[in-house]
Structure 1
Amino acid sequence: MHYVTSKSILSKDNGMNLYRGCTHGCIYCDSRSDVYNMDHDFEDIEVKQNSLELLKKELIKKTPSMIGTGAMTDPYVPLEGHLKYLRRALEMIYKYGFGFTCITKSDLVLRDLDLLLKINEKSKAVVQMTLTTSDDDLSSILEPNVCTTSRRVDVLKKLSDAGIPTIVWLCPILPYINDTEDNIGRIIDYCIESNVKGILCFGMGLTLRDGNREYFYSKLDENFPGLKETYIKKYANSYSLPSPDEGKLMDIFKKRTSANGILNDPDEIFRYLHEFPEKTYQSTLNFK
């Protein structure tokens, strides 16, 4: 971990990253890619030490809307447990009447359920959680330093029971590893049981770029001997690596989600995530 001073904290679309880098160890992580120009080791997490001061200034001058985090770095990396940057950001998001959504794989999100409930009552809070495999043993290989799939499903159920809407990211689906009908079916079963609002799926496969490709292949050698050669023979240096069974698996995904009233169109889901409820709270003006 190391500290930096940042010039800004919110993107033009109100995306927020309090940290940069991750220790979850997911073998497929695109954020390792060279294209993001990270100038430090991926596991040496960069902490934006002035991020909360910047966020307060931004929230004061902006019209309330949705604030999102987790697109590049899971906001609930283990060090959040004691630094509490995200929790303090949530307190400000609530205070100034904004909505919130995050993408995570961590059960640490339950620590902040009290604030998520307050935000959801006042505006809107949505938790997005990634599920890649229904097998906990495989989950511990693909995502070794974060809670298993069964624990994430438990988190989804707890959030749903509390009234917090949830979205699941069904990705990536790794060819010859978790691209099976049984896996996709079981994950959808988990989503039905957890009453998720939608499932984001951009196809059955994964993407590899310089930087994350090398790391991914090293982990294939470590955990799935011989599979790297299969990948290289079939995909070479392609960016997109679709499962050989993509058509069949996508058909299962679309039919089962539609039959169970789960949103499955990415554009519709992203509209929902960005949509800010038209509620007016005069009290929020008193803080400005």
Structure 2
Amino acid sequence: MHYITSKSILSSKNGMNLYRGCTHGCIYCDSRSEIYGMDHKFEDIAVKQNSIDLLKKELRKRPKAMIGTGAMTDPYVPLEKHLRYVRKSLELIYKYGFGFTCITKSDLILRDLELLEKINEKSRVVVQMTLTTADDELCSVLEPNVCPTSRRVEVLEILRDSGIPTVVWLCPILPYINDTEENINAILDYCIDNDVKGIFCHGMGLTLRDGNREYFYSKLDEHFPGLKEKYIEEYGNDYSIPSPNNDKLMGIFKKRTSEAGILNNSYDVFKYLQEFPQDSYQTKLII
């Protein structure tokens, strides 16, 4: 890791990234793509050393809303255990009466459960968890340096029982690897059992760009010999890499989520994440 200084911390849509880079090692990660202009090794995480001070200043002057993180870097990377930047951010979000949402694959979020509950009582929290495979052994290949799917499901259970709503990212689904009916149905079982409010699924497949394509292919060679050549033959240098099972799997996804009352349209899920209880904020304000 190394420290950098940032000019701002919140985007115009109230998103933030406290870290840049990641050590989870997910073989498909789009954040490795050259388009994002990262000028350091992906695993050498850049820590925005002035982010907490910036966040405090920006929260003081912004209208109350949901603050989001995790779009580019999982906020609960291992170094968060001792740096505690997310924890400090949550303390400020609670103090100033904002809501919070994040995308993660890590059970480290449970360290902050009590604080998340306090924010949820005062305003609103939604935790987003990524699930790609129901098979822990395969998970250890696809996402080697983060807790397995079974543990993430336990996190969903704990959050459900704590009254904190959740959303699942059902992606990416890698052609010829995890694009099976058995896998999709198992993940949907987890989602239904744990009362998730919505599921992001932009289709069964993944995206590849310069930067992440090379890394992904190197991992295919390491763990799935011969599959890289199949990808190159079928998809060339395409950005969108759809599963040949997309239609069947999306049919299963739409049918089961609709029957369970789970939001399955990306627009509706994004809208759900952005909702901020303005009226309840006025009555819960304790600053």
Normalising to structure 2: TM-score of the pair? Answer: 0.98
| Shift of residue 285, structure 1, vs aligned partner | 8.0
| Shift of residue 88, structure 1, vs aligned partner | 0.5
- What is the SS of the residue equivalent to 1:132? coil
Distance 1:254 1:272 in 2: 18
Matched, 1:268 2:260: no
Which residue of 1 is the match for residue 124 of structure 2? 124
Which residue of 1 is the match for residue 62 of structure 2? 62
> Does the 8 A contact of 1:95 with 1:284 survive in 2?
no
Which residue of 1 is the match for residue 20 of structure 2? 20
Distance 2:197 2:62 in 1: 28
> Does the 8 A contact of 1:97 with 1:281 survive in 2?
no
After superposition, what is the alpha-carbon deviation per residue over 1:10-36, rounded to whole angstroms, capped at 9, x for unaligned? 000000000000000000000000000
1:147-186 to 2 correspondences below 5 Å:
147-186=147-186
Show structure 2 runs of 5+ residues with no match: none
- What is the SS of the residue equivalent to 2:59? helix
Which residue of 1 is the match for residue 281 of structure 2? 280
After superposition, what is the alpha-carbon deviation per residue over 1:67-120, rounded to whole angstroms, capped at 9, x for unaligned? 000000000000001100000000000000000000000000000001110110
After superposition, what is the alpha-carbon deviation per residue over 1:202-258, rounded to whole angstroms, capped at 9, x for unaligned? 000000000000000000000000000000000000000000010000000000011
Which residue of 2 is the match for residue 139 of structure 1? 139
> Does the 8 A contact of 1:175 with 1:244 survive in 2?
yes
> Does the 8 A contact of 1:33 with 1:210 survive in 2?
yes
Distance 2:246 2:218 in 1: 25
| Shift of residue 145, structure 1, vs aligned partner | 0.1
- What is the SS of the residue equivalent to 2:9? coil
- What is the SS of the residue equivalent to 1:280? helix
> Does the 8 A contact of 1:198 with 1:264 survive in 2?
yes
> Does the 8 A contact of 2:123 with 2:284 survive in 1?
no
Which residue of 2 is the match for residue 190 of structure 1? 190
Which residue of 2 is the match for residue 225 of structure 1? 225
Which residue of 1 is the match for residue 235 of structure 2? 235
AA aligned opposite 2:281 = T
- What is the SS of the residue equivalent to 2:281? coil
Percent identity over paired residues? 74
The count of residues paired between Structure 1 and Structure 2 equals 286
Matched, 1:87 2:87: yes
Distance 1:198 1:84 in 2: 28
AA aligned opposite 1:29 = C
User: Are residues 189 and 280 of structure 1, via their aligned partners in 2, closer, same or farther at CA, if it must alter by over 3 Å?
Assistant: closer
User: Are residues 239 and 57 of structure 1, via their aligned partners in 2, closer, same or farther at CA, if it must alter by over 3 Å?
Assistant: same
Distance 1:82 1:144 in 2: 21
AA aligned opposite 1:256 = R
Which residue of 2 is the match for residue 97 of structure 1? 97
- What is the SS of the residue equivalent to 1:248? helix
AA aligned opposite 2:155 = V
> Does the 8 A contact of 1:14 with 1:66 survive in 2?
yes
Distance 2:164 2:273 in 1: 13
Distance 1:174 1:168 in 2: 17
Distance 1:135 1:285 in 2: 45
AA aligned opposite 1:281 = Q
User: Are residues 237 and 149 of structure 1, via their aligned partners in 2, closer, same or farther at CA, if it must alter by over 3 Å?
Assistant: same
Q: Pick which of 129-138 and 257-266 moved more.
A: 257-266
Which residue of 1 is the match for residue 46 of structure 2? 46
| Shift of residue 280, structure 1, vs aligned partner | 3.3
User: Are residues 285 and 57 of structure 1, via their aligned partners in 2, closer, same or farther at CA, if it must alter by over 3 Å?
Assistant: farther
Distance 1:42 1:22 in 2: 6
| Shift of residue 267, structure 1, vs aligned partner | 0.4
Matched, 1:255 2:262: no
Q: Structure 1 residue runs of 4+, over 6 Å off?
A: none
| Shift of residue 282, structure 1, vs aligned partner | 7.0
> Does the 8 A contact of 2:66 with 2:99 survive in 1?
yes
Show structure 1 runs of 5+ residues with no match: none
Which residue of 1 is the match for residue 3 of structure 2? 3
| Shift of residue 4, structure 1, vs aligned partner | 0.5
